[in-house]
Amino acid sequence: MRLNERFKLIIEWFKENMPVAETELHYTNPYELLVAVILSAQCTDKRVNQITPPFFERFPSAEVLANAEISEVFEYIKSCSYPNNKSKSLVGMAQKLVGEFKSIVPSDVNDLQKLPGVGRKTANVIASVVYDKPALAVDTHVFRVSARLGLTRDAKTPLETEKQLVKYIPEELLAIAHHWLILHGRYVCLARKPKCNECGLKHLCHYYQKNGE
């Protein structure tokens, strides 16, 4: 099967079986999503959604967070992974957002990456989810699922995965494709023990053909 045909069939399956796919992080504005995505690095969305309500009650805006003590921010996020680093990043992000971007979360991926705690993945999430830009964020789920399905070949880094995927996924579907792959990886194509018997894509899957259960 040619690669473009593989993409076409897998995209058609997702369109039919997962017509609605969106972030599971809770937020009401770009600032809140930016904080949530920074917190979500190597942490579950479920945990982040438990942390953010009291966090946003105390730090409702970038201006308030920019003036916060790192030690106080730590107390609000200490149940997530790497709270020390994330506390510093969140305060630094808010200060940069206020000082350089007039408290407006930028839509440009390169501008977003100027903010402390924001790498390419986080920048792509904000650009696609908030601003509906044709960007595809690659996290561990996207990286794993893309390789198993045979959508990527020999990709060693998230950036290589991103480049291979955007070559074949139509621009208008990049934002939802990110969520398709994440949700499939989170609930079906698990890292240690994928639920191949429940997967509607196993007939197209390189991993299943090689390791069939």
Q: What percent of the chain has pLDDT over 90?
A: 96
Give the domain-ending residue among 74, 105, 129.
129
* Per-residue CA distances from 86 to 23, 33, 46, 77, 187 (Å): 20, 15, 17, 8, 27
* Residues 50 and 100 placed together within one structural domain of the fold: yes
pLDDT of residue 180: 97
Under 8 Å between Cβ of 117 and 34? no
Give the domain-ending residue among 83, 99, 129.
129
* Residues 96 and 173 placed together within one structural domain of the fold: no
- Report the binding-site residues: 189, 196, 199, 205
- Report the binding-site residues for [4Fe-4S] cluster: 189, 196, 199, 205
Active-site annotation holds for 139:
yes
194-204: average pLDDT = 95
pLDDT of residue 1: 87
* Number of domains composing the chain: 2
104-121: average pLDDT = 96
CATH number at residue 38: 1.10.340.30
* Residues 123 and 163 placed together within one structural domain of the fold: no
pLDDT exceeds 70 at position 87: yes
Please give the structure tokens belonging to residue 120.
Answer: 């390419």
pLDDT exceeds 80 at position 212: no
* Residues 12 and 63 placed together within one structural domain of the fold: no
Shortest CA distance to 189 belongs to which of 156, 153, 150?
A: 150
Which one of 121, 132, 133, 167 is the catalytic residue? 121
Quote the Cα angle for 62-67-71, to 5°. Answer: 110
* Residues 58 and 104 placed together within one structural domain of the fold: yes
Show the domain range for 168: 3-21+136-211
Q: What percent of the chain has pLDDT over 70?
A: 99
Under 8 Å between Cβ of 131 and 109? no
In whole angstroms, what separates CA 100 from the centre of its chain?
25
Which one of 96, 139, 156, 202 is the catalytic residue? 139
pLDDT of residue 110: 95
Active-site annotation holds for 121:
yes
* Per-residue CA distances from 12 to 6, 16, 30, 81, 104 (Å): 10, 6, 30, 36, 36
Please give the structure tokens belonging to residue 79.
Answer: 């149940």
The pLDDT tens digits of the residues spanning 17-52 come to 999 999 999 999 999 999 999 999 989 999 999 999
The pLDDT tens digits of the residues spanning 146-183 come to 999 999 999 999 999 999 999 999 999 999 999 999 99
CATH number at residue 14: 1.10.1670.10
pLDDT of residue 211: 84
pTM as predicted: 0.90
* Residues 148 and 102 placed together within one structural domain of the fold: no
Give the domain-ending residue among 129, 158, 175.
129
